[in-house]
Amino acid sequence: MLIEIAGLTKSYATREGLNVEALAPLSFTVREGEFLTIVGPSGCGKSTLLKIIAGTLRRSAGSVRLQGRAIDGPSRDIGMVFQSPVLLPWRTIEENVLLPIEIQRQDVRNHRARAADLFRLVGIEGFERKYPKELSGGMQQRVGIIRALIHDPAVLLLDEPFGALDAMTREHMNLELLRIWKDAGKTIILVTHSIPEAIFLADRVIVMSARPGRIAEVIEVDLTRPRRLDMINSDPFGDYVRRVRGHFGSHGGLDA
């Protein structure tokens, strides 16, 4: 297995001195080359889990291992894409993409060719000299994906990357993400509030309960690839949606 998570928990101490349990003990694995999605109600710890896997947030207990090595801090083997791409407005798109290379004090010149390849991969070749304000929201998220891939990580983590986009752009970006996943050959873990999005993208869906976040079910998605948008209207797809929604009642429901 590429990633192994065992007995993972996360608790926070409030100003009042109370202990708030964000994640109950979680254990699961992620296969190499897999597209795994995580879905659950707001506040269930999805983003917390992703940050712990990324090494940017310390766990309270348990272990997270990547290729057999413990993750105890940020790793070059992991790239992360957030809901907002957080691009620096005074830097060109290419300069934004190469920022992690500068921070790691590597030679930027050695990564320009890879950056050019990634611009072609995500479909925004020719925009390298533009500034963030000149790009649409969907294009800015593509830049965020390039920036996460620039150091060639084994794993790509995405935290609600398309949540701020309109419905049509979001559907298009889902298709583009599947193409990028196939062409780049990466392992992807994506957090989302959208049940259809989670099912459409995934090989497996992890369904989380309300806080403290627990794994309610891990669902193998047996839908043909390549995925097409019209399969969203199929009976098998609807069965998966109902199966996930069955974990949530009138409270703690998910966005459609």
pLDDT in tens, the chain (256 residues): 899 999 999 998 888 878 889 999 999 999 999 999 999 998 899 999 999 999 999 999 999 999 999 998 988 899 999 888 889 999 999 999 999 898 888 888 889 999 999 999 999 999 999 999 999 999 999 999 999 999 899 999 999 988 888 888 899 999 999 999 999 999 999 999 999 999 999 999 999 999 999 999 999 999 999 999 999 999 999 999 999 999 986 444 444 4
Would you say 84 and 132 are in contact if contact means Cβ atoms under 8 Å apart? no
Q: How far apart are the first and last CA of the chain?
A: 32
Q: Global pTM?
A: 0.92
pLDDT for position 251: 45
pLDDT for position 18: 83
Instruction: State how far the Cα of 243 lies from the Cα of 239, in Å rounded to an integer.
Output: 6
Amino acid present at 74: P
Angstrom CA distances, 61 to 5, 23, 27, 172, 195, stand at 11, 10, 12, 39, 29
pLDDT for position 249: 67
Angle at CA 191, nearest 5°, toward 37 and 171?
80
Would you say 5 and 57 are in contact if contact means Cβ atoms under 8 Å apart? no
Instruction: State how far the Cα of 99 lies from the Cα of 97, in Å rounded to an integer.
Output: 6
Sketch out the chain's domains with CATH numbers: 3-77+155-245 (3.40.50.300), 87-152 (no CATH)
DSSP code of 66?
A: E
* Strand, helix or coil for residue 238: helix
pLDDT for position 107: 84
Instruction: State how far the Cα of 138 lies from the Cα of 204, in Å rounded to an integer.
Output: 25
Instruction: State how far the Cα of 48 lies from the Cα of 70, in Å rounded to an integer.
Output: 18
pLDDT for position 225: 95
**Residue 240 Rama label (left phi>0; alpha psi -120 to 50; beta):** alpha
Instruction: State how far the Cα of 94 lies from the Cα of 97, in Å rounded to an integer.
Output: 5
Show the tokens assigned to 35.
């597209």
